Structure 1
Amino acid sequence: MMMASPVRRRRCGEGMDDAPPIGTGDWPVPARDWSELPLDALVSVFVKLGAIEILMGAGLVCRSWLQAAELPELWRSVVMACHKVVDNIVDVDDDTVRASPVEPKINRDVLCAMARVAVDRSRGQLEVFVAMRFVTDQLLEYIGNRSPALKTVSLISCAGVSNQGFTQLINKCPMLEDLLLALCHRIGGRDVYEAAGRACPRLRRFRLCKRMLVSLLAEKPGEALGFAAMHELRTLVLIGSDVTNAELASVIDCCPRLESLDLMDCFNIVADDVLRARCAGIKSLMLPPRRREVDVDDEYESLSLRDCDFGSDSY
């Protein structure tokens, strides 16, 4: 009967020269259990990811992640803009476009459904909503019915939103303080802006960015007078507006707390001494340098979206 040879205990450090170097992959590295991350850490991660990434699957990794992704405080701010998914929106009936794992293609209906989920998860605590391209009147109605605490709304290039849909939203947002309408050519008119002023008495900042050609071809006389109903404004930004000196004077008179006024590319404005005197009490003032002649036959847009500055200190 053979005797088992005794096992010799290796001395400390013996044979270390033969050990594989750290990081070569020869020895398995213990996997981190991400499901054990504390809740506050998960929330911090999700805030940095943003609404679209969470809704597209980041919140479905495990049960603890799903629980964190459903916390109402995580959905106080919903930003669905400046993302590759939004940039690559396709029409529902476009069968010629194939999905790519690098640049995923999603239609507007899917993004609207994602936005509804975000609103539901906020449980009435939604304060900031920013969206680009995909928003419809129906989505705004859904948001308005469930978001009484809404303070900031930014809509960029939302051709699916009409005056009716926009007005229905603001009539349900008495807490609104910050409003941006950038390149939304179906929203406009004196009555619409007056309605915003009446419905949102706390409105502090209003920014309007138009395409120059749209402004010239779809000019609505007296449209800028609607801004005068926003009596509590501190900041007014009009980019590509057809506002005149007389209209601007009325706005300034009706908005005594105005601190910042930006009239970039408002080429109906004549920056004369009379106007500058009227604006003397405004701390930050940007007037157009000179009148610019625009050929309506040119495919000219006065500004890019970056110039619209649709970011907000609130999100």
Structure 2
Amino acid sequence: MASPVRRPGSGEGMDAPPPTGTGDDSPEPTRDWSELPLDALASVFVKLGAIEILMGAGLVCRSWLHAAKLPDLWRSVDMARHKVVDNIVDIFGASPVDPKINRVVLRAMARFAVDRSRGQLEVFVAKRFVTDQLLEYIGDRSPALKAVGLVSCAGVSNEGFTQLVARCPLLEDLMLVLCPRIGGRDVYEATGRACPQLRRFRLRTREFCFAADRYSDGEALGVAAMHGLRTLALYGSDVTNDELAAVLDGCPHLESLDLSEYFNIVADDALRARCAGIKSLVLPLRREVDDEYEYETLCSRDVDFGGDSD
């Protein structure tokens, strides 16, 4: 007798479908991150920041290293907001976060970042480790620099800073926070002359401020030479009403002015009238000359120099 014909789809023979469900133990396909397009990798690296890239993200594989060298990635270099920087306490001491990182290493990282920008660096922000020599390196290789921020950089002097701004005619945004060797009327006047496109200047000269703490060197009169300013924030200096009047005369385009931590300013009706055209104005509390101030209120505030915009 002839064998019965086995029809396709009957669940037997070669035409039967493969089993499904929990019995399928075939491995899931793995994703090869090294094959991501360069533009996708660059988008990720931008969010990591310069220090994370130079500490290892750019060394994972050949394609990641290639992406980490794209000049567009290094237009903006922010080396002020990282835990290894915050934890470095002395000149040669390593960060407890990573014992391989100290100020010398951070300066080498900054030079790598400048080199990788290939002259396209526009923004440089750093904290604690910057020196005159590093600023010279940046200034010589960064003709497109538009924004500079230095925080607690005791290694930068007036001479080194002045040489940098002389090489940065396109500078639009300048931030100096607790840099004890930068300051004075001559320095700020030179900055105003060298950087005619400067639109925003934020300065904190010391952390705690009393009018008698130090003799005023007329630095506010130097700020008056920054004629194109739209935004000005000054903290910890000894500017007087007369000096402020000179600033208002020299900077007629001001739209934002913050002088909230000044003990010598008397916010009287005459001063408020002079500032009537300024859109965003923060003056000290109105007082008589003999009034007392609450130290904690005026001197201990956490001022954000990086989050605001014009």
1:247 maps to what in 2?
A: 243
1:136 aligns with 2:120: no
Structure 2: which 5+ runs fail to align? 1-11
Q: 1:237 to 1:32 in 2, by over 3 A?
A: same
Amino acid at match of 1:16: G
1:169 aligns with 2:164: yes
SS of equivalent residue, structure 2 residue 78 = strand
Q: How does 1:59-74 map to 2 (within 5 A)?
A: 59-74=58-73
Residues 256, 279 of structure 2: 8 Å contact kept: yes
Q: 1:311 to 1:123 in 2, by over 3 A?
A: farther
Q: 1:40 to 1:138 in 2, by over 3 A?
A: same
SS of equivalent residue, structure 1 residue 113 = helix
1:187 maps to what in 2?
A: 182
Q: 1:313 to 1:287 in 2, by over 3 A?
A: closer
2:280 aligns with one of 260, 281, 284: 284
1:221 aligns with 2:226: no
1:231 maps to what in 2?
A: 227
TM-score (norm 2): 0.86
SS of equivalent residue, structure 2 residue 262 = coil
Query: How far has the Cα of 1:117 moved from its partner?
Result: 0.4
2:269 maps to what in 1?
A: 273
Q: 1:88 to 1:31 in 2, by over 3 A?
A: farther
Query: How far has the Cα of 1:221 moved from its partner?
Result: 2.8
SS of equivalent residue, structure 1 residue 124 = coil
Q: How far does the alpha carbon of each residue in 1:232-254 deviate from its partner, in whole angstroms, 9 at most, with x for none?
A: 00111112221111000011011
Residues 136, 161 of structure 1: 8 Å contact kept: yes
Structure-2 separation of matches of 1:187 and 1:28 = 62
Q: Percent identity?
A: 68
Q: How does 1:35-50 map to 2 (within 5 A)?
A: 35-50=34-49
Amino acid at match of 2:21: M
2:196 aligns with one of 192, 201, 225: 201
Q: CA RMSD in A?
A: 2.7
Residues 268, 286 of structure 2: 8 Å contact kept: no
Query: How far has the Cα of 1:300 moved from its partner?
Result: 11
1:16 aligns with one of 8, 13, 21: 21
Q: 1:136 to 1:312 in 2, by over 3 A?
A: farther
Structure 1: which 5+ runs fail to align? 1-6, 21-26
Structure-1 separation of matches of 2:15 and 2:179 = 75
Residues 154, 310 of structure 1: 8 Å contact kept: no
Query: How far has the Cα of 1:130 moved from its partner?
Result: 0.6
Number of residue equivalences: 294
Residues 92, 103 of structure 2: 8 Å contact kept: no
1:302 maps to what in 2?
A: 299
Q: 1:62 to 1:161 in 2, by over 3 A?
A: same
Q: How far does the alpha carbon of each residue in 1:238-284 deviate from its partner, in whole angstroms, 9 at most, with x for none?
A: 12221111000011011111111111211211100000011111111
- Which one has a bigger Cα radius of gyration? 2
2:81 maps to what in 1?
A: 82
Amino acid at match of 1:274: A
Residues 85, 128 of structure 2: 8 Å contact kept: yes
Residues 132, 155 of structure 1: 8 Å contact kept: yes
Amino acid at match of 1:49: L
Q: 1:122 to 1:284 in 2, by over 3 A?
A: same
SS of equivalent residue, structure 2 residue 148 = strand
Q: How far does the alpha carbon of each residue in 1:12-38 deviate from its partner, in whole angstroms, 9 at most, with x for none?
A: 464634457xxxxxx644331111111
Query: How far has the Cα of 1:10 moved from its partner?
Result: 9.4
Q: How far does the alpha carbon of each residue in 1:124-179 deviate from its partner, in whole angstroms, 9 at most, with x for none?
A: 11100011111111111110111111000011111111111111111111100000
Query: How far has the Cα of 1:302 moved from its partner?
Result: 2.5
Q: 1:241 to 1:83 in 2, by over 3 A?
A: same
Residues 185, 214 of structure 1: 8 Å contact kept: no
1:4 maps to what in 2?
A: none
TM-score (norm 1): 0.85
